[in-house]
Amino acid sequence: MQNILKKIEQWAGEKIIKNTRTYGGDIAQSQILTFESGLKRFLKTGALNDNMFPTEANSLKELERSKAIRVPRVLMVEPKFLLIEYIEQGPKQSLFLKILVDNSLRCTVSPQIILACLKIILLVIHCS
């Protein structure tokens, strides 16, 4: 884990001053990293295989490209970790998932991709 944090500090050009474990998801470990500047980032580690985080990063990029919903921007991805933008939790919307699912059903994307994206979105919402 220390190697990952050092690599992220080199990329960011500043030190990580706080590493807070957070919960969400079924597989990976999640942390909120706070940098000297006060900027926060979301880190996932503990992939089951070398394709897990690159695949998740690609799914997030596709969601971002669709501009259908706000998703965290992918900052760094390697087989051992995924670093994404940290998004503060906003007000809860009771119709959010209904609208999301309704809009997803109208997409031409495969159901597997939609399901993977929904899991990512739920993880981000839960961890924020």
Q: Tens digit of pLDDT for each residue in 49-70?
A: 999 999 999 999 988 888 878 8
Range of the domain at 29: 2-127
The CATH number given to whatever domain includes residue 16 is 3.30.200.20
Q: Tens digit of pLDDT for each residue in 4-49?
A: 999 999 999 999 999 999 876 678 899 999 999 999 999 999 888 9
Overall size of the chain counted in residues: 128
Domain total of the chain: 1
Place of tokens 């399901």: 115
Q: What is the dihedral of CA 82, 121, 86, 3, to 10 degrees?
A: -20
pTM over 0.75: no
Alpha helices, DSSP H, located in 1-128 = 2-12, 52-66, 96-105, 111-127
Cα gap 69→56, rounded to integer Å: 16
Place of tokens 């999640």: 30
